[in-house]
Structure 1
Amino acid sequence: MVAHSSDGLSATDPVTGGDVLVDARANLQEKLPLSSDSTQEGLEEPRIELPTVDAFRRAIPPHCFERDLFKSLRYLVQDFAALGLLYFALPVFEYFGILGYLAWNILMGVFGFALFVVGHDCLHGSFSDNQNLNDFIGHIAFSPLFSPYFPWQKSHKLHHAFTNHIDKDHGHVWVQDKDWEKMPLWKQLFNPMPFSGWLKWFPVYTLFGFCDGSHFWPYSSLFVRDSERVQCVVSTVCCVTCAYIALVVAGSYSNWFWYYWVPLSFFGCMLVIVTYLQHADEVAEVYEADEWSFVRGQTQTIDRLYGFGLDQTMHHITDGHVAHHFFNKIPHYHLIEATDGIKKVLEPLYETQYGYKYQVNYDFFVRFLWYNIKLDYLVHKTKGILQFRSTLEEKAKAK
């Protein structure tokens, strides 16, 4: 059974696998705690009111919710063309040796991620008005990237439905102090490794299914219905087929590895970096069930400007991500305009934990590496509210 709100917000139930309405509670104006420096779990905080989902929707121009099939197709063709041109220009890059090959891989990773964003519009239904067409195009965009479309669709909807929920937001591994203490040393040291970003995409997340189930295995914990398992098989076959075609074109396993799999790993690393920095930050909070609400969780999302033309190339999923989280039916080409409306609604909350979060991060790669070291685990800030250990310790020292 599928339930839809006027805002187009729906999500997959993690237990039944069916679609459930996620913003009913969010449309009720709630009194939520104002940010506090206290780290004592039992303390009560002053209460403030958060805007409703309808308040955000009214602040966004109606045309931002309109999907233009031809414009969406243009971006799809544009990204494939860019990747094709990079392959055509490969000899020029290789003329400069290992540095040229590295630069080529970085560009392949960026434009590969741009293609992923177009497929990401498909899984949200913001590519066109026809979901069957969306699913077809989504496979065209995702399969060459070795990303199974239907499994991504399910796991990603769960992330949107329960953003920054300590138990239900499986798009991120929220590590608490109690988890950290039980971890073996190698697990504690994994995230700070400079190359962990490459491994987190494949095989850690999509293949092995840490933390919400393998995206390639139809009997993983991610799937609860036979129809979902069939979808998993379909998407996996599409990915394997693309990888096999790449092998045939490459002509050898060596060429396949260096000119398909290595650039693919750079795409995966870019995906991990962008996703991590959208939701991990020194100021971000994570909530237990009694304290979580849809609006509250979305306000912990961070927009980041990467610069160097990357935000435009990657279709503004970096600096328009807050708007995307409130309304995932908005096509990527309307996100920046929609962001202006989000800012206006959140402006009165600027001095609180729930204000609009935006950072200019030309140092995004270094920041990603540093945050993986610094933001190691969460502790309770107050009852039901968690924040990163290092943030609370710094606040305590500043007193």
Structure 2
Amino acid sequence: MSLNYSSHPSAETKSGSINKNVSIQTLRNAIPAHCFKPLYRWGLWYLFRDVALMMGVMASAYHLIPMINSSIVRFVIWILYGYLEGLIMTGIWVLGHECGHSALFPAESPNHVTGFLLHSFLLTPYFAWRSSHRRHHIYANNVAKDHTYVPPSKEEYLSRISSFKQNAKNVEDIIEDSPLYTLCRIILQQFAGWPTYLVNNITASSGSLSKAHSKKFLGTSHFRPSSSLFRPEEANLVIISDLGIGAMLALLWYAGQFVGTKSLFLLYFQPYLWLNHWIVAITYLHHTHPALPKYDDDSWSFIKGATATVDRNLGWTGKHLLHDVADYHVIHHLFPHMPFYYGEEATKAIKPILGSYYREDKSHPFIFGLWESFTQCQYVEPDDPDADPGEQTLWYKGGPSPPPVYSMRR
């Protein structure tokens, strides 16, 4: 089904509600049973394939690129290496993400050992991230409790830019960004978003547990065992995550003694910057789109929150290197324990049931999706402020110019 959007969602989905006859069990019954069963052979295949590919590309770059005589050609090849290796590393991070959902292997222990090793190698505190990510899945798109890319309300947005408030007649007067300013915001998010999230969980809702101790040093950090992100019994797991990061940093320092600081940056940290970009961009675009609803605590339900995300298209790269992490995200929120390699089959099974409430935007190039979300998704407000608390749906609002009309396939 193809729907056209301008500045507002269509009347068909204006309420943001799901057909009351559709339940999680209804959707589960429509999906072939094998889609819920991780297999060792597939998990091991993707694991060994990705690790071998990463190490092979890294070794080839280390030995071959310095042999290129032309400094210009050598510079270009190093840049291309960083981009390619960054994609491969992101795919490995996605496998660690699958482990966090117990979806790569049938048993818990192999998942957690593998996820810990993969994420530690990529400077991600596995068990700490897994805990906060679990809360995101439980409360997806609940503006009071979610931990990932929770937009401000109109009032919160105004308070953040209070220096302009006295001279502004309405919010549109003070959020008209120049293209250069928007570009700078995008670059800042893509460059520093992931480490900032790990250090202080910056994208969580202002009313969530993670913000309760935000004034304390590392009070909302993934690295502090006593952070408000975690239950007291999770402290030991956070410490293990920190030890994994520490061991990897020590390994990188040791490697730098042999290959040199410059080679270490080119071989590892350059691709890591691309990894940072992809994690932030993909997660942001999963949950930020002009046609996606958000919910307050009274109107939220698990199925409404899980379906208020959007599938996007990353083409060949997304399918073969990033494991469909962007292409089939709706099904992942509905059934996070489902292995990624069944995402396409399961999505096709539930699309007829969800109908227009399955959201898919695969007509836009990825970079234009970033621009669209940055310019049109500044804050949220209810479609009907006078509606009962349990019936309100929140929608994104942007600047003074109406969003361009586009086609969003569903």
Normalised-by-shorter TM-score class = 0.7 to 0.9
Structure 1 match to 2:246: 240
Determine helix, strand or coil for the equivalent of 1:382. Answer: coil
Structure 2 match to 1:309: 317
- Greater RCO between the two (CA within 8 Å, min separation 6)? 2
Structure 1 match to 2:373: 371
Pairing of 1:2-81 with structure 2 (within 5 A): 36=11, 48-49=19-20, 51-81=22-52
* Alpha-carbon spacing, 1:126–1:284, altered in 2? closer, same or farther (3 Å): same
**Take 1:254 and 1:199, find their aligned partners in 2: how far apart are those partners?**
21
For residue 307 of structure 2, what is the amino acid of its counterpart?
Answer: T
How far apart are residue 48 of structure 1 and its match? Answer: 4.8
How far apart are residue 362 of structure 1 and its match? Answer: 5.9
Q: Aligned to 1:194, which of 177, 187, 191?
A: 187
**Take 2:18 and 2:108, find their aligned partners in 1: how far apart are those partners?**
41
Counting matched residue pairs gives 352
**Take 2:254 and 2:224, find their aligned partners in 1: how far apart are those partners?**
25
* Alpha-carbon spacing, 1:35–1:160, altered in 2? closer, same or farther (3 Å): farther
Q: Aligned to 1:221, which of 207, 221, 228?
A: 228
Task: Tell whether the 8 Å contact from 1:305 to 1:318 is kept in structure 2 after alignment.
Answer: yes
Task: Tell whether the 8 Å contact from 1:163 to 1:297 is kept in structure 2 after alignment.
Answer: yes
Q: Which stretch shows the higher mean deviation, 204-213 or 293-302?
A: 204-213
* Alpha-carbon spacing, 1:256–1:309, altered in 2? closer, same or farther (3 Å): closer
Determine helix, strand or coil for the equivalent of 2:57. Answer: helix
How far apart are residue 293 of structure 1 and its match? Answer: 0.7
For residue 205 of structure 1, what is the amino acid of its counterpart?
Answer: Y
Task: Tell whether the 8 Å contact from 1:214 to 1:222 is kept in structure 2 after alignment.
Answer: yes
Structure 2 match to 1:7: none
Structure 1 residues 214-248: Cα deviation after superposition (integer angstroms, max 9, x where no partner): 111212211121x3111111011112211221221
How far apart are residue 35 of structure 1 and its match? Answer: 6.2
Which TM-score applies when normalising by structure 1?
0.80
Write 1 or 2 for the structure with the bigger share of helix. 2
Task: Tell whether the 8 Å contact from 2:191 to 2:277 is kept in structure 1 after alignment.
Answer: yes
How far apart are residue 290 of structure 1 and its match? Answer: 1.4
Structure 2 match to 1:20: none
Q: Which stretch shows the higher mean deviation, 94-103 or 301-310?
A: 94-103
Task: Tell whether the 8 Å contact from 2:375 to 2:398 is kept in structure 1 after alignment.
Answer: no
Determine helix, strand or coil for the equivalent of 1:206. Answer: helix
How far apart are residue 366 of structure 1 and its match? Answer: 3.5
Pairing of 1:152-163 with structure 2 (within 5 A): 152-163=129-140
Determine helix, strand or coil for the equivalent of 2:185. Answer: coil
For residue 325 of structure 2, what is the amino acid of its counterpart?
Answer: I
* Alpha-carbon spacing, 1:46–1:59, altered in 2? closer, same or farther (3 Å): closer
* Alpha-carbon spacing, 1:206–1:361, altered in 2? closer, same or farther (3 Å): farther
Structure 2 match to 1:21: none
Determine helix, strand or coil for the equivalent of 1:309. Answer: helix
Task: Tell whether the 8 Å contact from 2:190 to 2:277 is kept in structure 1 after alignment.
Answer: yes
How far apart are residue 391 of structure 1 and its match? Answer: 8.9
Task: Tell whether the 8 Å contact from 2:375 to 2:399 is kept in structure 1 after alignment.
Answer: no
Task: Tell whether the 8 Å contact from 2:312 to 2:327 is kept in structure 1 after alignment.
Answer: yes
**Take 2:221 and 2:273, find their aligned partners in 1: how far apart are those partners?**
18
Pairing of 1:143-182 with structure 2 (within 5 A): 143-182=120-159
**Take 2:226 and 2:128, find their aligned partners in 1: how far apart are those partners?**
12
Structure 1 residues 196-225: Cα deviation after superposition (integer angstroms, max 9, x where no partner): 2120001x1002332342111212211121
Task: Tell whether the 8 Å contact from 1:93 to 1:103 is kept in structure 2 after alignment.
Answer: no
How far apart are residue 368 of structure 1 and its match? Answer: 1.4
Report sequence identity in percent.
25
How far apart are residue 284 of structure 1 and its match? Answer: 0.3
Task: Tell whether the 8 Å contact from 2:290 to 2:397 is kept in structure 1 after alignment.
Answer: no
**Structure 1: stretches of 5+ with no match in the other structure:** 1-33
How far apart are residue 98 of structure 1 and its match? Answer: 3.1
**Take 1:269 and 1:340, find their aligned partners in 2: how far apart are those partners?**
29
How far apart are residue 375 of structure 1 and its match? Answer: 1.6
